[in-house]
Amino acid sequence: MRGAPGGGSRRPRAAMALLLGASLLPKGWAAAAPRASGEPCEGTGPALRSVGRALDRREWAEADRGLRPLSASHGECAGVVVGLARLRAGSGDFEEAERLFDRATALAPGDALVHARFAQYWLSRGQPARADYLSELSLSLDPGCAEALVVQGQILGRKGEAHPARAALERAAALAPENAEARYQLGVWAFRRKLHAEAARHFDEAVALRPRDARARDYLALALEALGDAEGAEGAYRGALEANEGPFFDSFLDHNYGRFLLKQGRLEESRSHLDRAAALLPGSRAVHYERAKLNLALERYPAAREDAERALGLPDPGGLVLDLQVYYLLATVYARLGEAELARKYAELSRTARIPETGPGRP
């Protein structure tokens, strides 16, 4: 674990700085009292590491308990301010989070971890250009900043630079073996390239480091399923469901498990999960497509037609379900309903539909 961020930055205790610091603290928090001597982050290392672990696990209440006394005693420590910023971001107070991140970078402009945390924030907010700039700045200050390397790996992956992305993530994992996000992102990288055995290994390690991460457990189940390990996939799905009320909620989990159960012929079990998936993701083509298949298997043909038609009308930017798959399903449904003309229409569409080079993807 890295030391307390901002520990190497000394700043004067000017009255304006104190006033600014107090104005940026969340309501109900004490402003920092002036300290007679010492660095701004002196003595905060163990407490900040504990807070950092809580924030990484998104355990907001625990992080809040740890940050309250630190904000009172070390309000000019950049690491404390970064912790406050991450806490505010976790509660959805993004305006306050950004002000606190800005203050942290002003307190410790030479601290790589401070810039890396700000980069992580911007990436989570869908601002990759800002994240890219800050991660590059962080790595210019410390090429071994694992948090910045994880951000860099994600951005490179989005740019299609697969090998540099993998190299950045592997370096992050080697430098910080306890970094669950590095392992998770390595798993995502491998899964998207259908390297399922490698992906399963990384997701298994991510789950060991961050047991409440339902997303990692869901991905682990998908990877094991692709490897033909139905029993292992079942266990991973059940573990994901148990964790899915936690801080790493996975909205696609019910779809994935419902699809798995449908393949297993466990139709009523599948139905409960796909119904929940449709409630969670009403605009997902994949969800309505799978539920249409289920309704077809249950001989609920009008419901199958409704879901299949809904699926066809929805965009699918991720390429999870191809048009031709929906056409073929609709041809089958209309044939069962006795609507021969529509069945022929969709059968012809399924025959002539263009298949993208990449083929269908996965959530």
As averages over each run of 10 residues, the pLDDT of the chain (363 residues) reads 36 30 34 48 94 95 96 96 97 97 97 98 97 98 98 97 98 97 98 97 98 97 98 98 95 98 98 98 97 98 98 91 96 97 96 71 50
Question: Domain ends where: 57, 85, 109?
Answer: 109
Establish if 275 belongs to a structural domain: no
Which DSSP string corresponds to 221-250?
HHHHHHTT-HHHHHHHHHHHHHHTTSSS--
- Please indicate, yes or no, whether residues 15 and 78 belong to a single structural domain of this protein: yes
- Please indicate, yes or no, whether residues 23 and 99 belong to a single structural domain of this protein: yes
CATH code where residue 165 lies: 1.25.40.10
Q: Tell me, what DSSP letter sits at residue 25?
A: S
Which residues span the domain enclosing 72? 1-109
- Please indicate, yes or no, whether residues 11 and 55 belong to a single structural domain of this protein: yes
Question: Domain ends where: 57, 78, 109?
Answer: 109
Residue 109 is predicted with a pLDDT of: 97
Q: How many domains does the chain have?
A: 2
- Please indicate, yes or no, whether residues 13 and 74 belong to a single structural domain of this protein: yes
Which DSSP string corresponds to 280-339?
H-TT-HHHHHHHHHHHHHTT-HHHHHHHHHHHHTS--TT-SS-HHHHHHHHHHHHHHTT-
pTM for the full predicted model = 0.84
- Please indicate, yes or no, whether residues 154 and 55 belong to a single structural domain of this protein: no
- Please indicate, yes or no, whether residues 105 and 128 belong to a single structural domain of this protein: no
- Please indicate, yes or no, whether residues 36 and 124 belong to a single structural domain of this protein: no
- Please indicate, yes or no, whether residues 94 and 15 belong to a single structural domain of this protein: yes
Burial class from Cβ neighbours inside 10 Å (0-12, 13-18, 19+) for residue 127 reads: middle
- Please indicate, yes or no, whether residues 105 and 126 belong to a single structural domain of this protein: no
